[in-house]
């Protein structure tokens, strides 16, 4: 009985650890997220660059629709501007006509016809654009409002590994009662 329990636990642990990123997708769909946006000064505006990732695997996610919109409070809203992935590697970019000053920047990413199945993502950051200075909007220490998208890639994997460990410990402590004098 003890061998069967250990075999079942070992099989469960192997299943959890061998489940690749596709097996971890929510309903078979990638969970899109964008951690930050890089703004580089260019003639005629700013080059917005970002990487769309799958939250389950952390891998770049090419083939999805991505757009950026910006607002200056009382000023006229900008966009949305479609970002493209010219190399098909999950790195999206576009020229965005931002002016100096404070902005609220929103990025949206979603499934498009012919692309991978994906859950939509939207995130908004506050940023101040200054002429001639490249900035990273988002990432560690940034103030953000998250509207979907979920967690980074470590959370689902960490939860899976924690659950597998708890099961392993629980089953390893299981000792069925045996009648006295009965051989093992």
Sole residue written with tokens 């940034």: 142
d(CA 13, CA 174): 17
Query: Per-10-residue mean pLDDT for the chain, 184 residues long?
Result: 48 42 62 94 93 93 96 84 95 94 94 92 94 85 40 42 45 53 60
CA angle 41, 46, 50 (to 5 degrees): 105
Note the pLDDT of residue 181: 64
- Closest alpha carbon to 22 in 150, 100, 118: 118
d(CA 71, CA 125): 11
Identify whether the C-beta of residue 15 lies closer than 8 Å to the C-beta of residue 168.
no
Sole residue written with tokens 């919109």: 69
pTM reported for the whole predicted model = 0.63
Note the pLDDT of residue 169: 44
Note the pLDDT of residue 173: 53
d(CA 81, CA 46): 12
96 by DSSP, 3-state: which? strand
Q: How far is CA 44 from CA 47, 97, 98, 155, in A?
A: 9, 6, 9, 40
């Amino acid at each position: 009985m003890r061998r069967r329990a250990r075999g079942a636990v070992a099989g469960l642990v192997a299943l959890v650890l061998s489940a690749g990123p596709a097996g971890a997708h929510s309903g078979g769909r990638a969970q899109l997220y964008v951690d930050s946006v890089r703004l580089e000064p260019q003639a005629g505006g700013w080059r917005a660059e970002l990487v769309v990732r799958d939250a389950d695997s952390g891998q770049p996610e090419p083939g999805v629709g991505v757009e950026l919109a910006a607002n200056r409070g009382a000023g006229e809203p900008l966009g949305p501007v479609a970002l493209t992935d010219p190399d098909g590697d999950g790195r999206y970019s576009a020229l965005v006509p931002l002016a100096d000053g404070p902005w609220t920047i929103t990025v949206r990413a979603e499934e498009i016809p012919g692309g991978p199945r994906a859950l939509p993502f939207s995130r908004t950051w506050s940023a101040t654009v200054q002429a001639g200075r490249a900035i990273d909007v988002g990432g560690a220490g940034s103030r953000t409002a998250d509207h979907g998208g979920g967690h980074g890639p470590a959370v689902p994997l960490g939860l899976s590994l924690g659950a597998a460990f708890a099961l392993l410990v629980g089953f390893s402590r299981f000792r069925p009662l045996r009648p006295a004098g009965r051989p093992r």
